[in-house]
A and B are shown apart, each in its own frame.
Chain A
Amino acid sequence: MILALQVSHFTAAVTFALFASVVFGITQRNNPRDMLRYGAYCFTVFVLGMFAAGWVMWLLHH
């Protein structure tokens, strides 16, 4: 590939969280309302987990 898409770690992680959460929601729950709720829950956990991991790494580094 000649021109690779350049994204920040944050953008890549949020994009990853979005698509993974949608698939988790649809495949792990039985009705549309629960799918939406579980997808939103997974997305929130992914993003909050990312910030938590970032702070842990910052603390380990300093």
Chain B
Amino acid sequence: MANTDTTAEARPAAAASDPRMALLAPLVAWLVPGAGHLIQKRWIRGLVLMACVVTMFTLGLAMDGKIYKPNTGDLLEMLAFVSDLGAGGLYILGRMMDWGTGSIINATADYGKTFIVVAGLLNIMCMVDAYHIAIGKKP
């Protein structure tokens, strides 16, 4: 009984009043990095996560990094595409604006490609964290 009370105390008010947050938070976090935290009123965490993911993605593009498209050729390119897709709205924007289409011709472009891939992976971590907050697993 005491254990149940502790869980209820740890659960955020947003999730307790609206169970749809468990679905909405990761979805919003995918579309806009950090927004999954912002809609649950975790302002500082949300803004810091947003700054990190957006800056990494932008630096990757500035270094002439490549944004991978869906393909069935090379396994590593398929994995890179899945990672890039994790950046959500940034990935969609990049594809719409035709950014990151150059070939990887130097070391800097390779660093840029890595930054973009990792920005996507970090955003997936943000999505999972937003989900954990929504279900009350994390304060």
Q: Which A residues form the contact surface with B (CB < 8 A)?
A: 1, 4-7, 9, 12, 15-16, 19-20, 22-24, 26-27, 30-31
Does any Cβ of A come within 8 Å of B7's Cβ?
A: no
Complex CA–CA separation, A5 to B61 (angstroms)? 9
Complex contact B139–A20 (CB within 8 A): no
Complex CA–CA separation, A12 to B113 (angstroms)? 12
A26 touches which of B55, B56, B64, B129 (Cβ 8 Å): B129
Complex CA–CA separation, A27 to B52 (angstroms)? 12
Complex contact A6–B55 (CB within 8 A): no
- Interface SS of chain B: helix, strand, loop or mixed? helix
Complex contact B63–A4 (CB within 8 A): yes
CB within 8 Å for A23 and B59 given contacts A1-B102, A16-B115, A30-B139: no
Complex CA–CA separation, A3 to B120 (angstroms)? 24
A-B contact count (CB 8 A): 61
Complex CA–CA separation, A47 to B129 (angstroms)? 25
Does any Cβ of A come within 8 Å of B76's Cβ?
A: no
Q: Which B residues form the contact surface with A (CB < 8 A)?
A: 45, 48-49, 52-53, 55-56, 59, 61-64, 99, 102, 107-109, 111-112, 114-115, 118, 122, 125-126, 128-129, 138-139
Complex contact B62–A5 (CB within 8 A): yes
Complex contact B111–A7 (CB within 8 A): yes
Interfacial chain A residues near B139, Cβ < 8 Å: 30-31
Closest to A6 in B: B108
Complex CA–CA separation, A5 to B59 (angstroms)? 8
- Identify 11 new A-B residue pairs, CB closer than 8 A, beyond the known A7-B108, A20-B122: A1-B61, A1-B99, A1-B102, A4-B109, A9-B107, A12-B115, A16-B56, A19-B53, A23-B53, A27-B125, A31-B139
